[in-house]
Amino acid sequence: MNGHTVFELRQYTLRPGQCERLVALFEREFVESQEALGMGLPGQFRDLDDPERFVWLRSFPDMTTRAAALAAFYDGPVWRTHREAANATMLDSDDVLLLRPTQPFALEGLSRPVAGERAPAGLLTATICPAPSVDLAALARGFDAKVRPVLERLGVTVLAQFITEPARNTFPRLPVREGESVFVWFASFADAHAQARYEAAATAEPVVVAWTQRLDAVPETLRLAPTPRSLLRGASSSINRPREHA
């Protein structure tokens, strides 16, 4: 996944009681089969606030290779064999944000847990911040220079930062949310109590409040529990170290 410049943040609304069935199918059939075609799968998650939601990330070197890789997968034998079972779990799969990293995940050296391995999970958050498109780059720089150090002082491990990828959807068979402008940042925590303590503390931080007031709307925070084979884990993972500031 090193050098990947296009990411999809995918949120699926599932039929009642189907989350565990999709997680098992996805992690058995759809991880290595997509990676073999050059795609990256940094993380798969259950939504802690919605038991009928499955959230995952997929990445590509660029928009051109995205089109080729997706065509190879969705016209290929693995999806053809399992698509009916996968689609039967879903009500909606069109909630997709196309993103590009301003600060990417640090995934070097990670190995994906094998089936049945017990790996510490923790909790991740994805905070989706609607923002004016003309201010996205400046907002991203302001977050990294001013907000991120405050969050890390509060004990938050910021994993990555993204802005909207404005390019045309190169694989229209899979819809994405078009006409939106967002800044998205990911963080990890040991558990829900640590995440709640951060939220309470952040509301009293003037730098955080001032940055948030520049947004178009109140941010949406997804609280995510990594599935068994997700590369991205919670705060106990070796990747979740605060970045050193020069």
Q: Given this model, what pLDDT does residue 40 score?
A: 97
Amino acid residing at 79: W
Dist. CA 168–CA 97, nearest whole Å: 12
How would DSSP label each residue in 118-165? -----EEEEEEEE--GGGHHHHHHHIIIIIHHHHHHTT-EEEEEEEE-
Dist. CA 18–CA 37, nearest whole Å: 27
Indicate if the pLDDT at residue 243 is higher than 80. Answer: no
**144-170 as b/e, with b when 16 or more CB fall inside 10 Å?**
beebbebbeebebbbbbbbbbbeeebb
- Residues 143-159 have pLDDT tens digits of 999 999 999 999 999 99
Q: Which residues contact 87 (CB under 8 A, 6 or more apart)?
A: none
Indicate if the pLDDT at residue 32 is higher than 60. Answer: yes
Q: Given this model, what pLDDT does residue 119 score?
A: 67
Which range has the worst mean pLDDT, 40-44, 52-56, 86-90, 234-238?
A: 234-238
Rounded to 5 degrees, φ, ψ at 33 are: -65, -35
Rounded to 5 degrees, φ, ψ at 219 are: -60, 150
Percent of the chain as helix, strand, coil, to the nearest 5: 30, 30, 40
3-state secondary structure of 188: strand
Which range has the worst mean pLDDT, 14-18, 114-118, 126-130?
A: 114-118
Cross-strand partners of 126: 186, 222
